[in-house]
Chains A and B, each alone.
Chain A
């Protein structure tokens, strides 16, 4: 095991997979950084430090610094994949799916189906997402609810450095298109990461980060840590929480959620995306359909309100789910009847 930051788990996994497989190619804005400047290539190695050193090691044909052209980046990733490569395309901010959505949604996600299963499109679309930096409405969003609703792509949302390592390796080796969502506020978090260069975590297998038995909390990303904080706080009162880290929202590990709710009878889903037609609502519906008789209280959703993400510190704090809001929801389901 090696202790490393979430962002270093991203970079080291890409580095290892590029060494292993010459078909793995990286492209994105400033993934080299400094091209065409006095500072020269790698003057800045990517704004998230998740591509530092790749260009020097693998050169310009495999590490492609792109203009600010998100449609072209996503489209080129699709074309690279149809032509036999395994591209990892970086979208600097997940919010930029807005300018490149056709290539993700109408092209990459649908190639295999539209072409009768006679092709594969092994792309990894990495995107930095999430609020907490006062970056306001166009640089803070959680886009998984949009992408999870698209048949043909898989959606991964790692929470820990170890999960970054295991899930990103799975994504790179997967033959289907994968969106890999990296939470900006987690990049500097550290954790123990297995050294095995074949360490992989299969998609569709959630992680039980706390086992309690009285109430089920489901989340991922930054808010998973908030759920763990609530669980730790309530443990002092003798209240046990199951905290489930989804890891992937497509495919979704229904079984782990249902198994937990069948024991606890109480569900709180915590999600950073807006509430309407969202992941939290989807999971509540799943439980209502498949574990109705186990429920002891109405499932609760803790999400931001149905608004854009505001700028000012006070406003963003009020917008985001917090430890206190999650704790209040847990107490509501515990107090039911």
Chain B
């Protein structure tokens, strides 16, 4: 199925917003204005957007330690996200969550996670909720468990995969293999020679693999996966081979990278460049169309930063709010 011009522009816009959001944070964090730990999603945009473009608000996603991209792809408000990262009381989580715990349950985004690997069981729970509700017009609602190659080594992820298979829950395990769990290479840390999908397969799931720097590969793969899971065939897993352009956290000196590695992946494995090349060569969009999206995206990020800087700060009384609904 060919994507419409509008759909192509929307997908590119979302990827570009994520890219500029993260590139801007990379700069702003160095000024000391933003507190805490931040893990940037730059380089992996095609995965979040290629997955989430298929989802409705009733479908759930559970994100990772590197969650900004998933949030933005699932529809979290850009301004509210920026305010949250700035720690404003008007932020998406009122300044209580910050970068690592950002969420918007009303958008079906059940949270980034400060604990690597904690998300997969939560996604299985959301998928079990879908099983209680049963299929709607488009089949079953699904829950996506995003996991990195680091999280794939956690026992929680193994438990979640087995549990999903046992209960035939409509859960999709999306593994983003960016080759580094923190500062350790996937060839060292993932015992199956860096191959994550084969583990999911061993748990009894149908698996797919695709190039995570190619939006169209992600998008087309996810269409197949979603058709399979929405039809009630049980869980599935996908491994996307992708790249992260920044360190594990902001401030990571990345001494584990090979010489010229970052330049090379920025040049040849950039999902936005790959997208532009594909759509212009196919005559689906012109460079000018994409340039206009670039300009608009930069303006949106600029506006979000301006709004975040001006947004009200939380007060000491806010510490006590929202622990319980009633106590």
| B143 engages A154 (CB within 8 Å) | no
Q: Does B118 reach chain A (CB closer than 8 Å)? A: yes
Inside 8 A of A76's CB, which chain B residues have their CB? Answer: 121-122, 124-125, 128, 160, 163
Pick from A71, A111, A154: contact of B121, CB below 8 A.
Answer: A71
Q: Which of B7-15, B104-112, B191-199, B248-256 contacts its partner?
A: B104-112
How far, in whole Å, are A117 and B105 apart by their CA atoms in the complex? 11
| A118 engages B118 (CB within 8 Å) | no
Q: A116-B92, A154-B324 are in contact. Are A61 and B131 (CB under 8 A)?
A: yes
Give residues 233-253 of B contacting A (CB, 8 Å). Answer: none
Q: Does B132 reach chain A (CB closer than 8 Å)? A: yes
The residue of chain B having its C-beta at the shortest distance from the C-beta of A60 within the complex is B167
| B324 engages A83 (CB within 8 Å) | no
Q: Does A185 reach chain B (CB closer than 8 Å)? A: no
How far, in whole Å, are A22 and B124 apart by their CA atoms in the complex? 19
Q: Does B39 reach chain A (CB closer than 8 Å)? A: no
| A117 engages B155 (CB within 8 Å) | no
Shortest Cβ distance from residue B324 to the other chain A in the assembled complex, whole angstroms = 5
Pick from A71, A72, A116, A174: contact of B97, CB below 8 A.
Answer: A116
Give residues 55-85 of A contacting B (CB, 8 Å). Answer: 61-62, 64, 66-67, 69, 71-85
Shortest Cβ distance from residue B163 to the other chain A in the assembled complex, whole angstroms = 4
Inside 8 A of A72's CB, which chain B residues have their CB? Answer: 121, 124, 156, 159-160, 162-163
Shortest Cβ distance from residue B58 to the other chain A in the assembled complex, whole angstroms = 9
**B side interface size, CB within 8 A:** 50
Q: Does B2 reach chain A (CB closer than 8 Å)? A: no
Q: Does A40 reach chain B (CB closer than 8 Å)? A: no
The residue of chain A having its C-beta at the shortest distance from the C-beta of B113 within the complex is A107
Apart from A79-B124, A114-B111, 7 more pairs, CB < 8 Å: A69-B162, A72-B159, A80-B129, A82-B125, A115-B101, A116-B95, A118-B105
Inside 8 A of B200's CB, which chain A residues have their CB? Answer: none
Q: Does A102 reach chain B (CB closer than 8 Å)? A: yes
Inside 8 A of A84's CB, which chain B residues have their CB? Answer: 129
Q: Across chains A and B, which 7 residue pairs bring their CB atoms closest together, nearest first?
A: A79-B125, A75-B121, A117-B322, A116-B94, A76-B125, A83-B129, A116-B93
Q: Does B120 reach chain A (CB closer than 8 Å)? A: yes
How far, in whole Å, are A1 and B323 apart by their CA atoms in the complex? 37
How far, in whole Å, are A7 and B200 apart by their CA atoms in the complex? 39
| A77 engages B125 (CB within 8 Å) | yes
| A79 engages B110 (CB within 8 Å) | yes
| A107 engages B129 (CB within 8 Å) | no
Inside 8 A of A78's CB, which chain B residues have their CB? Answer: 121-122, 125
| A112 engages B123 (CB within 8 Å) | no
Q: Which of A23, A71, A102 has the most CB atoms of chain B within a 10 A radius of its CB? A: A71
Inside 8 A of A87's CB, which chain B residues have their CB? Answer: 125
| B62 engages A79 (CB within 8 Å) | yes
Give residues 165-196 of A contacting B (CB, 8 Å). Answer: 174-176
| B156 engages A152 (CB within 8 Å) | no
Shortest Cβ distance from residue A160 to the other chain B in the assembled complex, whole angstroms = 24
